[in-house]
Structure 1
């Protein structure tokens, strides 16, 4: 009886295998097609992303993700072909729970990775741009999957999380080819203010040709200071980073100082005068004499 029962089971398995053979063959075909299709998708996506993203690690990550999606779709189709919908539901449930646990555990890392991918596709920030963000200013050296690298003017390297760049505002000096420079100064109260304005604008235009730039130079007297009448002059230079701005401001200060000295225009410095109405030492001496 036991032998006959075993034989019946084997026959039943054989019959089931024969019935399921077309589905098995179809499932194998689907898996093979999914594999080769994923390779094609990987290469195509990598080629397309490379045109938009200069960082190869980001491009490969996006291409691998696309290939995994294709393989996953092929796996789900295969399970349906084999009538394993129950197994498919179990896998989806397990994947959902595992994804939730992993997402909570790696929330910061995944956030930085996603932010890095988004930053790689943004047109207003690229490698080589000079930006200012999160209290730092420098050249963008790298946009990686987890961090953002800046090189400051003093050659220090600053590494920032991608999330902080995406969530905070930043100033990109490289988006335009012109930078406006502002210089403030003060002259004494007995100065000829019209002459000061004319001399300042002529000096700036002499060393920073403003005629070749469409935007006009601006000169304003700002306030009556404690020891001077203060003014502000704003002019434009060609540049895409903060270094030319610092150099232009330094040169403007030097040239304005030279021009004022030549024209006998005084740039005063604060002076504090102390006045005593009563002399306490004299009072004490008088009391002692008595």
Structure 2
């Protein structure tokens, strides 16, 4: 009889509990439906905003991986906001607090574990929006020079002049200075040379400037500059500076090659000597290499 009473009491408690749950569900059904509706609305908003941002980023960011990652992060943030609002409508404040606390702890742990990776990721996002560095530019950075072929969320890929590829982490690009040849259409090229000590220095100066100006037309305020630098061991050395079209390092080499040829032709036509170091070997050694004769 005692066992029957315990079973009946347990069944009554279960029935009472289920009844209270049913009443709670009925009372909170409007809030539940409203929470679902709000969450679905935020999903729709995330999709619409993602498509809009993707179209806007196409004008600024050439790299598809950067655009896709940015859109996904934005959509995830909007959906999370909708999720938290839905939890608030269901009066699940404690659950919301627990979720935020757990997310904070997990985020901190992931951030510490992936510190270098996250640094490169955020640096990649920064680089994708910088006008100073774009795909196709010729840059020098971290001891390497080449054409930028790719900018992704971890690194940039540079193709060097020897046709080899160099992968540099984005963090290195952001933290270290880099030189971009493609940001300016015109650059100044400097060429060093020397003439013999018996040369007419004023004539050499005028001839060199005229030769370079004819080969490389100067624009606007640009001009050919000529300066003697020093009395060298076998020549009086000078530097000539001029402007030309440069968008990569190869353009500088081409300009120097042409300038050397034209200057050499002009100097040869006017009997101007470009001396080179001469080594004189003295054989006047007075020491005898013959062995002295032995006395008999």
- Normalising by the smaller structure, the TM-score range is over 0.9
The residue number in structure 2 matching 1:254 is: 261
The residue number in structure 2 matching 1:57 is: 65
2:242 pairs with 1:238: no
Mapping for residues 85-234 of structure 1, pairs under 5 Å? 85-210=93-218, 212-234=219-241
Greater Cα offset, 146-155 or 118-127: 146-155
- In 1, the alpha carbon distance for the partners of 2:234 and 2:131 equals 48
Q: Report the CA distance shift for 1:249/1:289 in structure 2 as closer, same or farther (over 3 A).
A: farther
- In 2, the alpha carbon distance for the partners of 1:84 and 1:250 equals 76
The alpha-carbon deviation at position 286 of structure 1 amounts to: 9.8
State the TM-score, normalized to the length of structure 1.
0.93
Q: Secondary structure at the match of 1:58?
A: helix
Question: Are the aligned partners of 1:213 and 1:236 in contact in 2 as well (CA < 8 Å)?
Answer: no
Deviations 1:128-176 (A, max 9, x none): 1111111112211111111101122222222111111111111111111
Q: Secondary structure at the match of 1:270?
A: coil
Deviations 1:166-213 (A, max 9, x none): 111111111111021111001111111111111111211121122x45
State the TM-score, normalized to the length of structure 2.
0.91
The residue number in structure 2 matching 1:43 is: 51
The residue number in structure 2 matching 1:28 is: 36
- In 2, the alpha carbon distance for the partners of 1:261 and 1:244 equals 26
The alpha-carbon deviation at position 273 of structure 1 amounts to: 3.9
Q: Secondary structure at the match of 2:69?
A: helix
The residue number in structure 1 matching 2:278 is: 271
Q: Report the CA distance shift for 1:200/1:289 in structure 2 as closer, same or farther (over 3 A).
A: farther
- In 1, the alpha carbon distance for the partners of 2:105 and 2:19 equals 40
Residue 79 of structure 1 is aligned with which of 72, 87, 95?
Answer: 87
Q: Secondary structure at the match of 1:281?
A: coil
Query: What residue ranges of structure 2 are gaps of 5+ in the alignment?
Result: 1-8
Greater Cα offset, 3-12 or 45-54: 3-12
Q: Secondary structure at the match of 1:186?
A: strand
The alpha-carbon deviation at position 236 of structure 1 amounts to: 0.8
Greater Cα offset, 128-137 or 115-124: 128-137
Query: What residue ranges of structure 1 are gaps of 5+ in the alignment?
Result: none
Q: Report the CA distance shift for 1:289/1:193 in structure 2 as closer, same or farther (over 3 A).
A: farther
Higher radius of gyration, 1 or 2: 2
